[in-house]
């Protein structure tokens, strides 16, 4: 019993640090697309160095891997994505990002390296600076694009239905 109480006390701060989670749904053509992700905050930290480091695989969010579910076959940028549920990762850079779509949707956000063989593929994302910085990571499906907004950065990829 004492061990259980000790474990619970040690785990409590970790549970309190978890980021809020969000599910967004949108359409692109005839496809219904749902994205579920953890929403970390910047809290004064810098993108590209302290968070979402440039040139390294990033889990796009917090906690479990961000997932994308589509009920129809779609194309993300140049990548054909069959209907189903996938984990999303990114490789951020200052001027462009790569979006990674992985077939193993039920993984922890830091497990990409061990599940790399399950990658469906990668596609480029365009990066623009946004005028009003976004404190909490925000994903959206709008204007037939998947958008990732954080700080003064927006990375986007077009979504087309097949």
Distance of alpha carbon 162 from alpha carbon 157, whole angstroms: 16
Is residue 70 exposed (0-12), middle (13-18) or buried (19+ Cβ within 10 Å)?
A: buried
The predicted pLDDT at position 43 comes to: 87
Q: Report the pLDDT value the prediction gives residue 2, as an integer from 0 to 100.
A: 53
pLDDT grade, residue 7 (50/70/90)?
very low
Task: Tell me the average pLDDT of the chain.
Answer: 88
List pLDDT tens digits, range 13-52: 444 447 899 999 999 999 999 999 999 988 888 777 778 8
11-50 b/e (C-beta count within 10 Å ≥ 16 → b): eeeeeeeeeeebebebebeebebebbbbbbebeeeebeee
Q: List, edge to edge, every strand of the sheet that includes 96-102.
A: 21-28, 31-38, 66-70, 84-91, 96-102, 119-142, 145-161, 74-76, 79-81
pTM greater than 0.75 (yes/no): yes
- Report the half-sphere exposure of 51 (CA within 13 A, side-chain side): 18
Site of tokens 């003064």: 152
> Residue 124 above 60 pLDDT?
yes
Q: Which residue has the tokens 């968070």?
A: 51
Domain chopping of the chain, boundaries = 23-161
Q: Is 122 left (phi over 0), alpha (psi -120 to 50) or beta?
A: beta
As a whole number, mean pLDDT of residues 73-77 equals: 98
């Amino acid at each position: 019993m004492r061990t259980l109480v000790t474990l619970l006390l040690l785990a409590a701060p970790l549970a309190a640090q978890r980021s809020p989670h969000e599910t967004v749904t949108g359409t692109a053509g005839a496809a219904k697309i749902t994205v579920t992700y953890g929403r970390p905050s910047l809290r004064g930290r810098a993108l590209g160095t302290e968070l979402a480091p440039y040139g390294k695989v990033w889990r796009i969010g917090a906690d479990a891997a961000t997932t994308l579910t589509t009920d129809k076959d779609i194309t993300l940028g140049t990548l054909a994505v069959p209907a189903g549920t996938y984990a999303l990762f990114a490789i951020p850079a200052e001027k462009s990002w790569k979006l990674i779509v992985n077939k193993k949707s039920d993984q922890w956000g830091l497990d990409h390296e061990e599940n790399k063989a399950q990658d469906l593929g990668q596609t480029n994302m365009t990066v623009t600076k946004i005028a009003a910085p976004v404190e909490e990571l925000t994903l959206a499906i709008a204007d037939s694009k998947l958008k990732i907004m954080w700080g003064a950065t927006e990375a986007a990829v077009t979504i087309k239905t097949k």
